[in-house]
Structure 1
Amino acid sequence: MQGRKVAAVVAAVGALAFVVLAVLLVPWDPVPGGPLHPPPASSVFTTDQIDRAEDFAGLQRIWSWSSLAVSLAVACVLGFSRLGAAFVDRVRGPWWWRAVVAVLALTLAGRVATLPFAVLLRRRVLAYGLSHQEWGAYAVDLAKGVAVEVVGTSIGIVVLVGVARRWPRAWPAVAGVLVAGLVMLGSFVYPLLVEPLFNDFESLPDGPLRTQVLALADEEGVHVDDVLVTDASRRTTTLNAYVSGYGSSRRVVVYDNLLDGGSSVDDREVLSVVAHELGHARHDDVLIGSLLGAAGALMGVGLLGLVLGRRGSGPADPRTVPRVLALVALASLLASPVQNGISRQIETRADVDALEATGDPEAFVELQRDLALTSLADPTPYAWSHFWFGSHPTTLQRIALARRFEE
């Protein structure tokens, strides 16, 4: 009973911390002038462009949702039946080794079960010209992704099981703090350890564009040691840029195909992209996301303690690992609307910053149009789907924002 009380307190503290951080740090009203009214898709794209995007997105959504459903089904069957625990029982070795093997086996089981959907999704990406990457290189990237997932998950699980074995009653408090710390550490080291596994990076070459980018950063009061270009074109034909890390690991990265002379994007649009990412850097959005993730992890460990407390003393036995992973998978799905809703607000603020910094809403509109065309983004996704899974405003919402600035 004492362990469940500790878990309840940890869950409450985590929830309170999340709410306070969200209220203080998330821009809940980033758009000046009230709600946006997106223009009709036909005023931005041709009929052929709309049909092509909807045709691509329609089947992609079906395969993606099917893959998610199968992945959750596998996790739940292995986690909530005796199958997962029975497998762990057959593994010989110290407790930490059994926990790691359980993570590896369950991750591979999920990937194998969803592999047909991954192949179908990949075939359509190739058919529509969104990538020219060979299947062998794609398989290597897929294997790297699985390895990163297994390592990251294993670290968290070993910490959780080890703490529960050491502190049978107080484990939710100790594990909650440690897992929250791992979230912060992971966000810091991700650009240094993980991103180089998938891409090569080099500095933006000297020239007018680099001078303009650094001048823009200076005007925005954002300290940028360098702007990096990644070889994303080996994997995708879509255009993008991003900011990752925080503190000394923070980096602004631009896709190389965004700078390619054959791209439809001109320097004004590139500056608009960079201004958006500088907006993230200016507000320390990666740090904000990490803090919210840490608070959510603390709350999650507390809730995990409440759920597992009904069936035993906690996750001290490696046989509980499949159940823990199943609960995490379900919790991640249920938390998606909150996570993505916050993300959309933060992305909208970065759009506002980009428009204010460049003073060029026309370039912003052209950029959004080019980004949508190169990625075949559905201009009018299902409202519920965008609410649950959409991490960015829609193309038409972003164009409506730019046109408000024009007014």
Structure 2
Amino acid sequence: MTPRGWAVVTLVALVVLLAASSALLVPWHRPPAPRADQLAALRELAPDEVTRARAFRDALRPGSYGALLVGLLIALVLGLTPLGGKLIDLVSRPFGDHWIAQAVLGGFAVLLVADLVTLPFSAWRHAVVARYGLSTQSWAGWGVDLLKSYAVSAVIGAVALLGFYAVTRYAPRWWWALGAAGAAVLVVLLSFVLPVLVEPVFNRFTPMAQGPLRTELMALAERDRVPVRDVLVADASRRTRAVNAYVSGFGPTRRIVVYDTLLREATPDEVTSVVAHELGHAKDQDVLAGTLTGALGAAAAVTALYLLGSWGGLLRAAGVDSIAQPRAFALLFAVVAVVGLVSNPAQALLSRRVEARADAHALDLTGDPTTFEAMQRRLATVNLADPDPPRWEYLYSASHPSTVERMAAARAYARNEGR
């Protein structure tokens, strides 16, 4: 069988595995909370807070979708015309058009153009968030975080670009197989390494002081049979008023992380409710499940790129001979951008299902639907979340159930428990 034939068989197998893992690991059986309960919850929210949250989201929307559309447009212009290849040639020419310069510097040039074009939209977002009082960052602090993000992305990107194009260069017939395996391994490594190495770049973490709340959180984790090493407090308040908590790491590195803003804004019982939700993700191995599906998806994407790379029309439009050559990175970038846009609703749906299961876990673990509902109100108020967003936006991008869905779920739990 030819390499292309093996690639077709491999892609089919990866898609089947991806579908099977999604079917087995995602809680599809859980129905949404009754719409009548959602509307009842919405009516009980303070009208002025709902109006302010919706005004905030309305103010963000032009910048968010403007960045999405402009970013897609620049990706298509660079990838489906010879402009991308010419840009890569330009930055690599001082280095004799060496393939490493084309791969790394050329790749960075394409990504930098896309980032610079969408940078005004990022600044727009920061201005809106600051105007509504959700951000506590100055423009200087925002700029420093932006540079840190670029630096982290540059390190990861350099490794990925160099590795990918080294494989395509030295295994031209079978690069798709090695590249698929490498992409899967990279996804796994990032899942384990990012929480430990990258989180401290953006936040400082200090152990939570000994006291009733720390004792309760550690006891909650023990009762849930989720071993955690420590409870840490992140200094999120230096950039935002938003509240959050999460469980980070695996095995010996696992810890509960609580935003200092959550400690200021919420009651201890509400903090416990949020942490119970996050423990649900750890209990159900959601990160491992996401890593598995992400690794399978990355491997399938690389294999599909190999098969797509023989499409003459795309190659002629980009002015390249093969999608595997470094100067074709802009074409690869355009394909990834389109796939990301099309697949986003499916990713959001998967995320909502998993988050709903974690909500149910929190209710079961704490047995306190009243506090859970109160915490959802507080999250919506402080984070300026639209409690019942437009349906089209919810279906396209919502990664969590809406506030009214979560409040309704708490009420359904209370009814079922006879409370």
TM-score class, shorter: over 0.9
| 1:171 maps onto 2:175 in alignment | yes
The Cα of 1:245 is off from its aligned counterpart by 3.4
| 1:50 maps onto 2:50 in alignment | yes
**1:228 aligned counterpart, secondary structure:** strand
Structure 1 Cα separation of the partners of residues 80 and 249 of structure 2: 36
Structure 1 residues 249 and 338 mapped into 2: Cα distance closer, same or farther (>3 Å)?
A: farther
Map of 1:7-406 to 2, 5 A cutoff? 7-30=7-30, 35-37=33-35, 38-40=38-40, 42-90=42-90, 91-92=92-93, 93=95, 94-260=98-264, 263=265, 265-311=266-312, 314-406=322-414
The Cα of 1:10 is off from its aligned counterpart by 2.9
The one-letter code of the counterpart of 2:15 is: A
Structure 2 Cα separation of the partners of residues 283 and 255 of structure 1: 23
Q: Please identify, of 3-12 and 376-385, the stretch whose mean Cα deviation from structure 2 is larger.
A: 3-12
* TM-score, normalised with respect to structure 2: 0.92
Contact 1:285-1:346 within 8 A present in 2 as well: yes
The Cα of 1:29 is off from its aligned counterpart by 2.0
Structure 1 residues 229 and 314 mapped into 2: Cα distance closer, same or farther (>3 Å)?
A: farther
Contact 2:42-2:404 within 8 A present in 1 as well: no
Identity of aligned residues (%): 42
Structure 1 residues 103 and 247 mapped into 2: Cα distance closer, same or farther (>3 Å)?
A: farther
Contact 1:379-1:395 within 8 A present in 2 as well: yes
Structure 1 residues 248 and 16 mapped into 2: Cα distance closer, same or farther (>3 Å)?
A: farther
Q: Which runs of 5+ in 2 are unaligned?
A: 316-320
The Cα of 1:147 is off from its aligned counterpart by 2.0
Q: Which runs of 5+ in 1 are unaligned?
A: none
The Cα of 1:373 is off from its aligned counterpart by 0.6
Q: Please identify, of 298-307 and 2-11, the stretch whose mean Cα deviation from structure 2 is larger.
A: 2-11
Q: Please identify, of 247-256 and 324-333, the stretch whose mean Cα deviation from structure 2 is larger.
A: 247-256
**2:309 aligned counterpart, secondary structure:** helix
* TM-score, normalised with respect to structure 1: 0.95
The Cα of 1:214 is off from its aligned counterpart by 0.8
Contact 2:234-2:258 within 8 A present in 1 as well: yes
Structure 1 residues 169 and 114 mapped into 2: Cα distance closer, same or farther (>3 Å)?
A: same
Structure 2 Cα separation of the partners of residues 301 and 44 of structure 1: 49
Task: Please give the per-residue CA displacement for 1:218-240, whole angstroms capped at 9, x wherever unaligned.
Answer: 11111111122111111110111
Q: Please identify, of 91-100 and 208-217, the stretch whose mean Cα deviation from structure 2 is larger.
A: 91-100
The one-letter code of the counterpart of 2:246 is: Y
The one-letter code of the counterpart of 1:303 is: A
Contact 2:231-2:256 within 8 A present in 1 as well: yes
Structure 1 residues 333 and 219 mapped into 2: Cα distance closer, same or farther (>3 Å)?
A: same
Task: Please give the per-residue CA displacement for 1:350-384, whole angstroms capped at 9, x wherever unaligned.
Answer: 10110111111111111000000111111221212
The Cα of 1:154 is off from its aligned counterpart by 3.0
Higher relative contact order (CA 8 A, sep 6+): 1
**1:309 aligned counterpart, secondary structure:** coil
Structure 2 Cα separation of the partners of residues 187 and 26 of structure 1: 19
Structure 2 Cα separation of the partners of residues 135 and 215 of structure 1: 41
**2:114 aligned counterpart, secondary structure:** helix
The Cα of 1:30 is off from its aligned counterpart by 3.6
Structure 2 Cα separation of the partners of residues 251 and 153 of structure 1: 28
The one-letter code of the counterpart of 2:342 is: L
Structure 2 Cα separation of the partners of residues 9 and 245 of structure 1: 35
Contact 1:368-1:395 within 8 A present in 2 as well: yes
What do you get for the CA RMSD once the two structures are aligned? 1.7
